[in-house]
Structure 1
Amino acid sequence: MTDPRAPERIVRRFARASNLMIAGRPFAATGVGADALTQLLARLGGIPSPSPTPGRVEFDLDAELVLLDGEPLPQRGDAAGRIAFAREHMPVAAALAERLDLSGLRVGVAMVLEPKTAVLSLLLRERGAAVSVYAHPDETDVAVADELRARGFAVTADPGLAGTAERAAALTFLRAGLDVLLDDGAHLIRLAHEDDPALVDGWIGACEETTSGLTPLRRMQDAGTLRCAVMAVNDARTKTMFDNRYGTGQSCVFAIADLLEERGIALTDQPALVLGYGPVGRGVAAHLRALGAEVRVAETDPVRALEARHDGFATGRAVELAGGALVVSATGVPATVTPEIAAVARVIAVAGGVPGEVSGSGDALVLGGGGAVNITAAEGNPIEIMDLSFAVQLAALGELLSRRPGPGVHALGTDIDDLVARTALAVRGADIDPPRALDLDGVDDWRSPRYRESRS
């Protein structure tokens, strides 16, 4: 393997063909060039595994063959095939769904419409719910939407809609009647409050899975305008620590590298500037560095900026660091990429993202139309990551139905993180030690052990 970029291309090709995760995945590499590939996979969070382990991917470089669990990596094919493949790799969500009885419940799913969302919709229906699906025009995989329609789902998803027509379609979806809404970005929760608050009064509640969605909902709560219960799915550790960091990090950086390669540009041809160092920014910066980019970080929060420096990234003012750089916005805040930043950048991309995150482009190359690049130019977050996120969604739905809390943004119980994580570890064949029992010798005594012998 004489091409120094060959390992990166091999890994991206695997991820593109499978939509599977690298981090946390057992792997083996053999053949000429295996050492370089092994080093890259380890930097991306893969686990070297010389012996067969559940989920192991094997790269035979001499035979140009990729094996998954000992079998050739399958061709996923059409939308039905991609949905079936995703379902095969979403055992955690399936296990959490089995705990629910949704008989007679009307559930709306308003999320990026791709194979993993289709699996979530199928799991909900199999537990007895009447499921309707909505997707924004720029977040719709048309083939997946058509496949769900063919299976009897009511699907509101049309890439051709915009402006008033898009709003009308969203309102039609809401007015069809819901008991629970699973939202992404809180766009439909907010639209219902804005256009017809009476719609919300009939809901049991909603579940919201993004930071950019929970932020305005908490403002509504503070202002006394939030009329329904919202379960804060995004705040669960098994969501944010994995979806935002590992999922968005891999899917966005790989999509950026793919798009640049189509234009004859290497990821390492220019420095990279990550705007924002929250969970998404950390993941993007780590994946960019793993692929060999020189990474800088601009962050307005002083603690996060300090963290970025301690993680080994140069920090400073965005405009000063953006010159000639690949600028990746990871804030989820509108107008993050200002005209001043765009004027000096070489390439601009958005990781995750909200509408309007790029407010100016100048002469820079804007990837994915300025939308979330892992959605506009790829297949969204990896399957196993969405397996975790949707498992949390399902657990949150169960908690919403059992608790029936009043209006407001509600944290999930810590037992949900424990349940989801233990289920995920079990399907990966990973054991952990049990929690330590209370110690009869006084380790759990609140009093200082230093003075134990002098107590009367």
Structure 2
Amino acid sequence: MEYKVKDLALAPQGNAKISWAEQNMPVLMLLRKRHSALKPLKGVRVGAVLHVTKETAVLMKAFVDAGAEVVLAGSNPLSTQDDIAAALVEYGVHVYAWRGQSSSEYYWCLEKIIEWRPQIVLDDGADLHALIHEKHLDLAEQIIGGTEETTTGVIRLKALEREGLLKYPVIAVNNAYTKHMFDNRYGTGQSTFDGILRATNILIAGKIVVVAGYGWVGKGIAMRARGLGARRVIVTEVNPIRALEAIYDGFEVMPMSEAAEIGDIFITATGNKAVIRREHFEKMKNGAILANAGHFNVEVWIPDLEELARSKRHMLPYVTEYELRDGRKIYLLAEGRLVNLVAAEGHPSEVMDMSFANQFLASLYLVDNKGKLPLRVMNPPLELDEMVASLKLESMSVRIDSMTREQEEYVKSWRHGT
């Protein structure tokens, strides 16, 4: 086995956590059981850059059981859970991940994946996809296909496609209904506040919460802020349709330049850079708390905060205090990185069950259709999405109606009128 993790002695602790996740991920466990005997991925090398959590471990074990050789690196320098990494090495996964990596160490791990010449590439943020297209085009031509799990990563891959540079088909798992509607909304909505509360132990009730961005992630965060008793929930947006939706969902909408003066807690969820920057820091009240739920640590523009601060200190493990020249103090959580994965454990297993079932099925689909798919970023086939939803309902003992033959014919015909 080739790997680099913090400490293999942590494996028993990691295995216990993985067992907990397995009990709460019935869809993926069913798919894993179905395909462990058939070995549809026998001989296929899978390279994955994902947050190394107990939920990710269940997915990696599913790939191993399906016959694949699996290589894994973390998709964020601070999100790896070292006990999980150790447990996966024991299971036969080549893991290159540990918590607290430098930027150079992070990219070293990605290069190690490339050395294994993966045929299926799973990514969370598109760093591996981008690295392959920038520096390893010889490998790109041998790749069957890839998947991408984040909005940020899909945006990057769409840019590659627009420029005519995409070298293999990619399934945007992020765009599966059973991913973005549940993982992004319910998973991130809950786990973002889990991270904020673990980091600070503040009371959300009575606070003014500002949510930057009203995509599926922002919707979930705003909903949970209201549920936790926030006095006001303010949404900032650049998209007029989403802004209108936020208003009709009962939230206030205003520019960040106005929200900056009144917010107690600011949470970014846009996938863009410098959403909160110098002009906003200069207006914030003393004690403002900043957290990011987007993939990269660029939404809260830290260079501006560093320039404005006369001093800086680490108050708590995931809380950094910036004292500005006028004496105001602003608190940045998790170094501006994904607060739910740095200060907490990421999404609940029940939500990742659907997301990772989509990852697994998308990978099987790529292998089954090797050489037949266009060099594009594609949404997952609807039938796979519906399969995941049906299995999830079944696991929850929920039954639904089915159409009669007459109804099926009715919805397919144009002849029935008034």
Structure 1 and Structure 2 fold alike (TM over 0.5): yes
What's 2:41 paired with?
102
Q: Is the 8 A contact 1:105 1:130 kept in 2?
A: yes
Aligned runs of 1:55-454 on 2, under 5 Å? 78-97=13-32, 98-99=34-35, 101-135=40-74, 136-261=76-201, 265-293=202-230, 294-325=232-263, 326-345=265-284, 346-360=288-302, 361=305, 363-404=329-370, 405-439=373-407, 445-447=413-415, 449-450=417-418
Identity %: 35
Distance in 1 between the 2:65 and 2:108 partners?
29
Q: Is the 8 A contact 2:124 2:148 kept in 1?
A: yes
> Which has the higher Rg, Structure 1 or Structure 2?
1
**How many residue pairs were aligned?**
371
Distance in 1 between the 2:212 and 2:380 partners?
29
Q: Is the 8 A contact 1:247 1:382 kept in 2?
A: yes
- Shift in Å at residue 402 of structure 1? 1.6
* Greater relative contact order (CA < 8 Å, ≥ 6 in sequence): 2
- Shift in Å at residue 210 of structure 1? 0.9
Query: 1:220-274: CA deviations, max 9, x gaps?
Result: 101011111101111110110000000000100222133231xxx3213530000
Cα distance, 1:269–1:439 mapped onto 2, change above 3 Å: closer
- Shift in Å at residue 78 of structure 1? 2.3
- Shift in Å at residue 367 of structure 1? 1.2
Distance in 2 between the 1:386 and 1:349 partners?
22
Q: Is the 8 A contact 2:49 2:110 kept in 1?
A: no
- Shift in Å at residue 376 of structure 1? 0.5
Letter in 2 for 1:311: D
- Shift in Å at residue 189 of structure 1? 0.7
Q: Is the 8 A contact 2:141 2:167 kept in 1?
A: yes
Letter in 2 for 1:376: V
Q: Is the 8 A contact 2:292 2:336 kept in 1?
A: yes
Query: 1:314-349: CA deviations, max 9, x gaps?
Result: 111112012242110011212222222233341110
Cα distance, 1:436–1:209 mapped onto 2, change above 3 Å: farther
- Shift in Å at residue 173 of structure 1? 1.8
- Shift in Å at residue 200 of structure 1? 1.2
Q: Is the 8 A contact 1:343 1:364 kept in 2?
A: no
TM-score, scaled to structure 1: 0.78
- Shift in Å at residue 159 of structure 1? 3.1
- Shift in Å at residue 443 of structure 1? 7.0
Distance in 1 between the 2:100 and 2:192 partners?
24
Distance in 2 between the 1:385 and 1:318 partners?
31
Q: Is the 8 A contact 1:243 1:389 kept in 2?
A: yes
Q: Is the 8 A contact 1:338 1:359 kept in 2?
A: yes
Q: Is the 8 A contact 1:274 1:285 kept in 2?
A: yes
What's 2:311 paired with?
none
Q: Is the 8 A contact 1:352 1:374 kept in 2?
A: no
Distance in 2 between the 1:436 and 1:183 partners?
41
Distance in 2 between the 1:246 and 1:159 partners?
26
Cα distance, 1:396–1:443 mapped onto 2, change above 3 Å: closer
Cα distance, 1:101–1:337 mapped onto 2, change above 3 Å: same
Letter in 2 for 1:146: A
Secondary structure of the equivalent of 1:344?
A: coil
Distance in 1 between the 2:24 and 2:237 partners?
36
Structure 1, gaps ≥5 residues long: 1-76, 451-456
Letter in 2 for 1:338: R
Distance in 2 between the 1:229 and 1:440 partners?
33
What's 1:7 paired with?
none
Distance in 1 between the 2:109 and 2:47 partners?
14
Cα distance, 1:441–1:204 mapped onto 2, change above 3 Å: closer
Distance in 1 between the 2:132 and 2:408 partners?
55
Query: 1:29-54: CA deviations, max 9, x gaps?
Result: xxxxxxxxxxxxxxxxxxxxxxxxxx
Aligned runs of 1:28-47 on 2, under 5 Å? none
Query: 1:27-81: CA deviations, max 9, x gaps?
Result: xxxxxxxxxxxxxxxxxxxxxxxxxxxxxxxxxxxxxxxxxxxxxxxxxx92211
Distance in 1 between the 2:346 and 2:208 partners?
25
- Shift in Å at residue 438 of structure 1? 3.2
Secondary structure of the equivalent of 1:429?
A: coil
Distance in 2 between the 1:449 and 1:199 partners?
56
After TM superposition, the structure 1 stretch with the greater mean CA deviation from structure 2, 175-184 or 382-391, is: 175-184
Cα distance, 1:431–1:288 mapped onto 2, change above 3 Å: same
Cα distance, 1:366–1:324 mapped onto 2, change above 3 Å: farther
Measured on the aligned residues, the alpha-carbon RMSD in Å equals 1.9
